[in-house]
Structure 1
């Protein structure tokens, strides 16, 4: 498994080689990320829940979704790198926060939202 830091470095080099750093502002990267998430959603939008679980069995659909996930990950990684956010640490912190907010006994099988932590 490659490290996110390695990908971030490759993305920095990619942008620098093309003189694209000028366009890679937090606002622009967040907007591009949103657009790519929209393209991912479009691949699943009109499927039933059951059909959406089976897209991996359709090579063409799976390839499109894989490409969109790649785009989302690239923009997310570039944005985090620009802002100095360690994505692995941010995800770990968020998971721990969710563990505290959603105890298994109270939330098993429930989609309800927990109240904010005080």
Structure 2
């Protein structure tokens, strides 16, 4: 996984908010609308893999066009998720950490 120094969740949320504000999109960025948009973008990511065999899906990033589409859809999913979290005041990293903690208890190593 590539790391990008200087990038953080709060900074990305700020950039997304500034982008939306500059275009007057804030009235449309309700929790409901963002949840719907997140679902649509996740479906677009799924669509890339819809008819691929397991072997083809494992090699999807070797195809430049498909790799570009995957990266774009991942970015869209993450953008809407971060905006959704911003609107509702959810700390995404804390929520994930808490969920992992609960899953470690629910599904202990045998």
Please confirm whether the aligned pair reaches a TM-score higher than 0.5, indicating the same fold.
yes
1:59 correspondence with 2:64: yes
Structure 1 CA distance, aligned partners of 2:18 and 2:56? 39
Aligned residue number for residue 4 of structure 1:
9
> How high is the TM-score relative to the length of structure 1?
0.86
Structure 1 CA distance, aligned partners of 2:40 and 2:71? 16
Identify unmatched segments of 5+ residues in structure 1: 106-118
Structure 2 CA distance, aligned partners of 1:101 and 1:13? 40
Aligned residue number for residue 23 of structure 1:
28
Q: Would you say how many aligned residue pairs link Structure 1 and Structure 2?
A: 105
After the TM superposition, which segments of 4 or more aligned residues of structure 1 sit over 2 Å from their partners? Answer: none
Larger radius of gyration: 1
Structure 1 CA distance, aligned partners of 2:30 and 2:72? 23
Residue pairs, 1:72-87, within 5 angstroms = 72-87=77-92
Compute the RMSD of aligned alpha carbons.
Answer: 0.8
Structure 1 CA distance, aligned partners of 2:67 and 2:107? 32
1:80 Cα deviation after fit: 0.3
1:39 Cα deviation after fit: 0.3
Structure 2 CA distance, aligned partners of 1:43 and 1:101? 33
Identify unmatched segments of 5+ residues in structure 2: none
* SS of 1:104 mapped into structure 2: coil
> How high is the TM-score relative to the length of structure 2?
0.92
Q: State the structure with bigger RCO (CA 8 A, min sep 6), 1 or 2.
A: 2
Aligned residue number for residue 94 of structure 1:
99
